[in-house]
Amino acid sequence: MTRNAHIDPAATGLSLTAPCVILCEPQLGENIGTAARAMANFGLSDLRLVNPRDGWPSEKARAAASRADHVIDGVQVFDSVEAAIADLSFVFATTARSREVAKPVRGPDEAAATTSRLGAEGAKVGYLFGRERWGLNNDEVALADEIVTLPVDPDFASLNIAQAVLVCSYEWRVKANGGALPFRLDEEANPPASKDDLQRLFDHFEGALDAVNFFRPPEKRPSMVRNLRNILQKAALTDQEVKTLRGVIAALEGRKTRPHSGSGESGKG
């Protein structure tokens, strides 16, 4: 039997305003594209560029975006950070280094909590990312409300822009939808095995092992049986898994099994 999966509605649609991502003077189209891909993974689409070095549009960016075309098609280009953030209510400046600018410093999870709270109120929030080689300057950081930094190793704090965008986008998504996953297995369609069925499995398994003289020396049989039963108990087997194991044991015994229609698996022996 194939395990059924169901989609969590919270994972497919969000009612709050999503943040935008601003890349300040990005140098490589590939980095823009991979940042767009990271955004799309977590439901963000508002990408803004400030003076991209190689101009815009960029075929390298589109290729690296790996089908995140809706993000690439919606890119807005600005000639200054001030213009790029003009319509926003709150801005986070992302940096991995300590700055002279006195700002509250948040981790990506804290920033995401603020972003989702403001987004629920309809406010527009932006994450400002700096250049590949040296990030944001102090004047650019000064334009932000708070700093967001990742808990990286201080001895190797440099992150690719797309990696930083991905972490911030991920944390926002977790806060925005309460951690809803895109799918879960339907437990009702895969009920746990009853204790009676487990006991029948134990008896079947142990009987098959007795037939091949597995339990040697005989005086160790009780402890070996307990160990085997503990192993099977830890597996938290479903009803279908017990049937499959019984079919496996029956096949090893050389007994005919009852095939399950359409599943290709063996039933109880």
The domains of the chain are located at 5-176, 191-252
At 25 the three-state DSSP class reads: coil
Contacts with 42 (C-beta within 8 Å, 6 or more apart), sequence order: 166, 169, 170, 172, 173
Domains 5-176 and 191-252 belong to one CATH topology: no
- For residue 20, the cross-strand partners are 126
DSSP string for residues in 48-72: EEES-TT-SS-HHHHHHTTT-HHHH
Contact, 31 vs 137, CB < 8 A? Answer: no
pLDDT, position 97: 74
pLDDT, position 268: 44
Contacts with 173 (C-beta within 8 Å, 6 or more apart), sequence order: 42, 43
Q: Is the dihedral of CA 204, 205, 209, 214 positive or negative?
A: negative
CA–chain centroid gap for 182, Å, is 9
Cα–Cα–Cα angle for 53, 55, 25, rounded to 5 degrees: 35
Q: Give 194's DSSP letter.
A: P
Q: Answer whether 0.75 is exceeded by the pTM.
A: no
Q: Which of 113, 103, 128 is nearest to 20 (CA)?
A: 128
pLDDT, position 96: 77
Cis status, amide bond into 182, omega within 30 of 0: no
CATH level 2 (architecture), domain 191-252: Orthogonal Bundle (1.10)
- Taking the chain (269 residues) in consecutive chunks of 10 residues, what is each chunk's mean pLDDT? 51 79 97 98 96 96 96 98 98 84 92 96 97 92 95 85 96 87 64 92 95 93 96 93 94 73 43
Q: Give 87's DSSP letter.
A: T
Dist CA 146 CA 88 (whole Å): 13
pLDDT, position 155: 84
CATH number listed for the domain at residues 5-176: 3.40.1280.10
Dist CA 15 CA 154 (whole Å): 37
Distances, alpha carbon 25 to alpha carbons 60, 72, 81, 130, 143, in Å:
16, 16, 9, 7, 16
Contact, 198 vs 237, CB < 8 A? Answer: yes
pLDDT, position 2: 42
Fill in the amino acid letter for 160. Answer: N
pLDDT, position 263: 42
